[in-house]
Amino acid sequence: MVLYLVGLGLFNEQDITLRGLEAIRRCSRVYLEAYTSILLCGKEKLEALYGKEVIVADREMVESRAEEILEGSDSQDVAFCVVGDPFGATTHTDLQLRARERGIPVRVVHNASVMNAVGACGLSLYRFGEAVSIVFFTETWRPDSFYDKIVANRKLGLHTLCLLDIKVKEPNLAALARGRTVYEPPRYMTVNTAIQQLLEVEERRLEGAFSGSTLGVGIARLQADDQQIVAGTLEQLLEVDFGAPLHCLVLAGDLHVTEQEMIQFYMIEGGGGGGGNCNGNGHAASAAAADH
């Protein structure tokens, strides 16, 4: 008679904690939240490990039909599994509140998320300011609310983690207008697209938050065997092929001497230090290294 919010970690089925696995195996129903992030493995691998069916919970179910998830939780255990940590997105806090309002006990099993694993790039977690989200621009919608937060961070000399948009099971608006539901193919924002959008906003705002010469760190497939971390100016990172999703971007603030030493390990040749493009294990890696 418990709702478990279980963090799955960042890479594949093996990143779950022993406590999380034990909780899932006790549950009658297991949901996988599948729109704020993705695991870099298919759900069939999760089902093989858990020994039970995994129900994919898309945005519509979590935000509009949450009662389906909670149904029966007063008499049987239910698991809601989240890539990363359960509190990496506000949606999961809302689900917890709904459960508590119904008198359903909630237990949380935490795990690694991008919010702490980003320290793999060599920048101290203590020196990060508020994280921002960057969404895909459209012809008619080019939001820049993240800009003010980046300005505030950089004034304090703090780093900024930029979380990049993903579009999963998004309806085609033209088809929807004709009364048909057709979903667009999944899209995952790249480091390159994020930088292009950032520089466009700077050109429009002209407040000096960053420029093409600002030091940044592009990260792809964090925690995966082929994770890629590349440091350089934003202009240099524009030319790097970061490969498959998921990606994130860090805008560096003022660097402590230890951070300076660490980031040299990932610096592009000619970008202020040697070493070439490297993965997280310290081995030389192609800029096009081969999936939250």
Strand bridging mode 55-57 / 106-109? unpaired
Where on the phi/psi map is residue 103: left (φ > 0), alpha (ψ -120 to 50), or beta? left
Separation of alpha carbons 32 and 34, rounded Å? 6
Q: Check the annotation: does 218 bind a ligand.
A: no
Q: Check the annotation: does 114 bind a ligand.
A: yes
3-class SS of residue 162: strand
Residue indicated by tokens 């304090």: 156
Strand bridging mode 166-167 / 187-188? antiparallel
Q: Check the annotation: does 222 bind a ligand.
A: yes
Q: Check the annotation: does 274 bind a ligand.
A: no
Beta bridge mates, 231: 217, 267
Q: Check the annotation: does 10 bind a ligand.
A: yes
The answer to whether 39 and 8 are in contact (CB under 8 A) is yes
Q: Check the annotation: does 88 bind a ligand.
A: yes
Q: Which amino acid is at 100?
A: R
Find the radius of gyration of the CA atoms of the chain: 20
Q: Check the annotation: does 247 bind a ligand.
A: yes
Q: Check the annotation: does 56 bind a ligand.
A: no
- Assigned token pair, 124: 């101290």
The answer to whether 226 and 279 are in contact (CB under 8 A) is yes
Annotated binding residues for S-adenosyl-L-methionine, as ranges?
Answer: 10, 85, 88, 113-114, 164, 222, 247
Annotated binding residues, as ranges?
Answer: 10, 85, 88, 113-114, 164, 222, 247
